[in-house]
Structure 1
Amino acid sequence: MEIVVSGLAAGGLFALVAQGFVLTFLTTNTLNFALGEFMVVAAFLALAISSWGWLPSAGKIVFVIAVFGVLGAWTYRLIVLPFSSGHNDTRWLLSTVGLSFIIINMTTNGEGVLRQPLNYGGMDEVVEFLGVRLPSQQGLIAVTAVLVTIALVMVTRMTGLGTRMRAVSEDAEAASLMGISSKRIGMIAYGLAMSVVALAGVLWAAEVGVSPQLGEPLLVGAFAAGIIGGLTSLWGPLLGGGIYGLVTAAVGESAGVMWGEVSGLLIVLAVLMFRPEGLLGRRVDVKL
């Protein structure tokens, strides 16, 4: 039971970051491979405003989320959109990877490699769940992943914005003929994705501290969660994160951490071989 609880808690963190991949892939068929580095920037921004005594902790977190929502929209407009002219144009991959290298160099050279504590956004207590003692912060992150997923599903299913996002996801060309701007929807999707990732970065930094290496260890697990669950399903990251977290925790406990990570990647390979759209994803037909 301890392995199950710890694996699901870790899976919740991976799922929260993976939503950043799903939101952009659903609407623009692109992925932001600088998400891990943007988590770092969000954590450093949270650290920079920690001295704002006039603003409560919740307000500081909301401020970081809002800033990164705007930053995400302009990342799509300036870094992704000019390099994604069609399904066969993958220059956006190089532009986002290049952006990640720039952020790594700037944060490492500007802030150093030492971890700095973040004095808000965290919980120090230990709770008991199903007979297992679990750090409250890990539980908070897992619950946040579930709540964020539910909120995103409700937005996409019950609002006009969600209808437009689904229309662009189904057929961007047909949606444009109906007066829906795929460029604007792409900016909104990237803004939402970056906001979710910023929230994950602040919550994770509150537990482990702020450093340029904050997001790198999570990126593989988050991408694995997206692949396993399906990059075309908002529920996919929760399922994929849970499976990846459980498998890596169980195998890591019995065979060592290295084999735990290998086993998780083997699950990814198996999904790519037998169900490349993911367990909850749908097959996307590309018009040539």
Structure 2
Amino acid sequence: MDAVISGLVLGGLFTLVGQSIVLTFVTTRTINFASGEFLAVAAFIGLGLGSWTWLPGPGKIVIAVLAVGVLGALTYRFLVVPFSHGEHDTRWLLSTVGLSYVLVNLLTNAYGANPQRLGFGRISEPKTLLGANINAQALLITVLAIIVTLVLVAGSKWTSSGLLMRAVAEDAETASLMGVSPRRVGAYAYAGASALAGLAGVLWAAEVGVSSHLGLPILVSAFAVAVIGGLTSFWGPLVGGAIYAVVVQIASYEIGSLWGSIIGLLLVIGVLVVRPEGLLGRRMEAKL
């Protein structure tokens, strides 16, 4: 039970970052492969704001999240749009991967590789859930992940912004003929997705420390849960996060952490073989 409960709670972190992946894919059919480094950027911005003693912790988190959101919009404008002309143009993959290498090297050279204490945003008291002791910080992130999922699902179905997002996702050319700007919608999606990644980065850094390599292991797991749940469903990361994290935690508890990671990757491969679109995703039709 400890492994199951801790897996469900840890899955919230992967879900929150996984939602940022799904949000950009649903809207623009592209993925920001520098999302992991955006977690670290947000954490370092928070670290820089630590000297602002007059500003409470939540205010520092908001500033860091907004700053990374702006970075996400700029990434879409200058590193995705120029390299994504048509459905079969995947140069954006290389440009965003290149950005991830640039950011991790800049952060490492500027601040070093050793973790640094953030100093705010951490809930230190452990919590008990169904008899299992769990990390309070991870529980907070899980609650936020559930709230974000509900907001994205409701917003995509019942708001005008969600309607525009679905229209651009289905047929960007027709949407532009109807007066909708696919680039503007994509920029908003990247900004929102990057803000989600930044929020996860700041809150998790408050627990484990700020470092240039903060986001890489989280991004790998976030991709796993997004693929398991389905890249075209906002429910997908929540379901995928719960399944993936519980399986990994149980396997790690029973046979070791190394085998837990391997079994998690085997789970992703198994889902891709049986249902390539993910458990909750839908098949996409590509125009030829």
> If the length of structure 1 is used for normalisation, what is the TM-score?
0.98
Corresponding residue for residue 8 of structure 1: 8
Identify the residue that residue 137 of structure 2 maps to in structure 1.
Answer: 137
Q: CA offset at residue 156 of structure 1?
A: 1.6
Alignment of 1:109-120 (within 5 A): 109-120=109-120
Distance 1:233 1:179 in 2: 26
Aligned residue for 2:223?
223
Aligned to 1:270: 270
Partner SS for 1:258? helix
Secondary structure of 1:50's counterpart equals helix
Q: Distance in 1 between matches of 2:124 and 2:64?
A: 22
**2: distance between equivalents of 1:240 and 1:279?**
8
**2:26 is the counterpart of 1:26:** yes
Q: Distance in 1 between matches of 2:228 and 2:155?
A: 23
1:159-174 counterparts in 2 under 5 A?
159-174=159-174
SS of the equivalent of 1:49 reads: helix
Q: CA deviation at 1:158?
A: 2.1
Q: Which letter does structure 1 place at the counterpart of 2:168?
A: V
What is the DSSP-based 3-state SS (H/G/I as helix, E as strand, rest coil) of the residue aligned with 1:128? strand
In structure 2, the residue matched to 1:53 is 53
Percent of residue pairs identical: 56
Once the two structures are superposed, the pairs formed by residues 225-244 of structure 1 within 5 Å of their partners are: 225-244=225-244
Match of 1:204 in 2: 204
Deviation at 1:275, TM superposition (A): 0.8
TM-score (norm 2): 0.98
Q: What residue is the counterpart of 1:105 in the other structure?
A: 105
CA distance in 2, matches of 1:17, 1:104: 18
CA distance in 2, matches of 1:43, 1:74: 19
- Single out whichever of 147-156 and 252-261 deviates more from structure 2: 147-156
Q: Following superposition of structure 1 onto structure 2, how do residues 274-285 of structure 1 map, counting pairs within 5 Å?
A: 274-285=274-285
Aligned length in residues = 288
Residue 112 of structure 1: how far off its partner (Å):
0.4
Q: 1:153, 1:59 → 2: CA distance? A: 27
Contact 2:32 / 2:93 at 8 angstroms: preserved in 1? Answer: yes
Query: 1:133 aligns to what SS in structure 2?
Result: strand
For 2:285, what is the secondary structure of its paired residue? coil
**1:134 positional shift:** 1.0
Hey, what does 2:39 align to over in structure 1?
Answer: 39
Contact in 1 for aligned 2:225/2:240 (Cα 8 Å) = yes
> Counterpart in 2 of 1:62?
62
Residues 63-104 of structure 1, C-alpha deviations (whole Å, 9 max, x = no match): 111112211111100011100001111100100011111011
Deviations 1:124-159 (A, max 9, x none): 001110001112111111111111111222222222
Partners of 2:275 and 2:205 in 1: CA distance: 34
The correspondence of residues 140-159 of structure 1 with structure 2, limited to 5 A, is: 140-159=140-159
Runs of 4+ aligned residues of structure 1 deviating over 6 Å after TM superposition are none
Alpha-carbon distance in structure 2 between the residues aligned to 1:201 and 1:155:
24
**Uncovered stretches (5+) of structure 2, i.e. residues with no partner:** none
Q: Aligned equivalents of 1:127 and 1:251: distance in 2? A: 23
Displacement after TM superposition at 1:174 (Å):
1.7
Q: Matched residues in 2 for 1:185 and 1:213: separation?
A: 30
Aligned residue for 2:51, secondary structure, equals coil
Tell me by how many angstroms 1:235 deviates: 0.9
Q: 1:124 is aligned with what amino acid?
A: S
Q: C-alpha deviations, 1:173-209, integer Å up to 9, x for none?
A: 2211211111111100000000000000001000000
Unaligned runs of 5+ in 1: none
